[in-house]
Structure 1
């Protein structure tokens, strides 16, 4: 049970319409139901506008999100993303595992993905990128994509704070962190 009660159905029509748009017909996640029960929090959460595809390819986007959630020990959101997006992002079992266990130098990653993961790690640990880290990312991603990477790291750190701070129960059909 979440520390703050989740909105229960039937949902107000405008909330149901938002759930339908975000979830594409699937039942709304606990995180969304908790946030939607509080108008200001829900408005601010959805105003982040990072729940869409954005300028990054799906694979890069999911690597950023999965790694950010893993670094924040947020099994809730990591598991949702792995379950929903890993296959479409062409993330195999070794890569999914490497988002949680291992560094940017894991052999499963391409040069662009190593730069991406190193950037996520740097932002998580130091809240900045060194000139070398920025140059490594810039070698593979354009300015719009780099801004999206930074925004996604911040947004999913916030999502991790929400899921962890609210002690959201793991979604039944979501993946679980790998062991060891």
Structure 2
């Protein structure tokens, strides 16, 4: 059980409408039900969402989110995104596994995806990009896309903090992290 008791149905009318908009008729995630216990936290979270049709394609967006949540050891959010979006983003099992256990040098990534993963890794490790990392990212992404990448990393680092600190149990339909023995040295160092 979450460290903060989530809302249970029936939900207040406004909360139900917001759940319906986000979940499109499915049961709301435990994360959403827990955040919605605070009107302010729920409003801030909903207003900060970057899951709309932004300047990044679905595949790039999901690589950023999956890598960010994996680096933050947030199996809850990583698993939800893999279960819901990986197929639509055309991520292979090898690529899904590499968001957790691999690095930018995994052979399954294109040059643009390697630059994307390098940026996520640098932001996670140092909260900045050096000139080379930024320039490499700019070789593949325009200004709007770069800003979206930076915002996604920050937002999903925050989501990871919340889900991890609340000790949210994994959603029943979410994917689990791949086996730990296949973790990359970079992720082992961060443990």
Where does residue 116 of structure 1 map in the other structure?
116
- Return the TM-score normalized by structure 1: 0.98
Where does residue 159 of structure 1 map in the other structure?
159
Matches within 5 A, 1:76-91: 76-91=76-91
Where does residue 68 of structure 2 map in the other structure?
68
What is the alpha-carbon root mean square deviation over aligned residues? 0.7
Q: Deviations over 1:20-56 (max 9, x none)?
A: 1111111100000000111011111111132323110
**Matches of 2:149 and 2:44 in 1, distance apart?**
20
Matches within 5 A, 1:139-158: 139-158=139-158
Do the aligned residues in 2 keep the contact of 1:29 with 1:171 (CA within 8 Å)? yes
**Matches of 1:136 and 1:22 in 2, distance apart?**
34
Matches within 5 A, 1:19-38: 19-38=19-38
Paired residue secondary structure (1:16): helix
Paired residue secondary structure (2:26): coil
Where does residue 185 of structure 2 map in the other structure?
none
Q: Deviations over 1:50-90 (max 9, x none)?
A: 23231100000000000000000000000000000000000
Do the aligned residues in 2 keep the contact of 1:77 with 1:163 (CA within 8 Å)? yes
Do the aligned residues in 2 keep the contact of 1:69 with 1:157 (CA within 8 Å)? yes
Structure 2 residues without counterparts, runs of 5 or longer: 182-191
Matches within 5 A, 1:36-47: 36-47=36-47
**Matches of 2:34 and 2:4 in 1, distance apart?**
7
Where does residue 92 of structure 2 map in the other structure?
92
**Matches of 1:84 and 1:166 in 2, distance apart?**
22
Q: How many residues align?
A: 180
Structure 1 residues without counterparts, runs of 5 or longer: none
4+ residue runs over 4 A deviation: none
**Matches of 1:99 and 1:8 in 2, distance apart?**
33
